[in-house]
Copies of this chain bind each other. A is one copy, B any other.
Amino acid sequence: MSCERRFQAELHRRGLRVTPQREIILSTLHCFHSPFTAEEVFRKVTESSPGIKLSTVYRTLELLKSINLVSVVDVGNRRNHYMHVEAESPHFHLVCRRCEAVLSLSSEEILEVQSKLCAKSGFEIEINRISLPGLCENCRRFEE
């Protein structure tokens, strides 16, 4: 099921409303291929629909989060980052502390880590929300 239909179905189920703003915001998320901020969504949305306000973007992202169509990734600067959850294999992000580049990565090893951590501590990590801080290949040269 496309995420547009999932969204509509869930809105109906909860007695909420399908509004143009919500549909536009959701469709905009397809533009992004790494974690994005509310502000970035707002700017993108504004290009085609100047009427939609930032607060509506925030409210819609929150709603999408509760439907699991969006997840939150913390990449470490002050802004919240979100990502569009599609039916992909779980992936996580590497965020360079120096240049702020974001690498998206899907890896078998993280699944191994997940199950070992869970066996050891009962804690179940959520792979899609992981961001690992560090230095990318380029930036490593500039740090002593």
Could you tell me which A residues sit within 8 Å of B by CB distance? 72, 74-76, 78, 80, 94, 96-97, 103, 105, 107, 109-110, 112-113, 116-117, 120-126, 129-137, 140
Contacts and interface: CB of A to CB of B under 8 A. Distances in A.
Given A113-B110, A113-B113, A116-B109, A125 B134 contact: yes
A135 B109 contact: no
A96 B123 contact: yes
Copies per complex?
Answer: 2
Nearest to A97: B126
Contacts of A126: 97, 133-135
A133 B137 contact: no
A90 B105 CA distance: 23
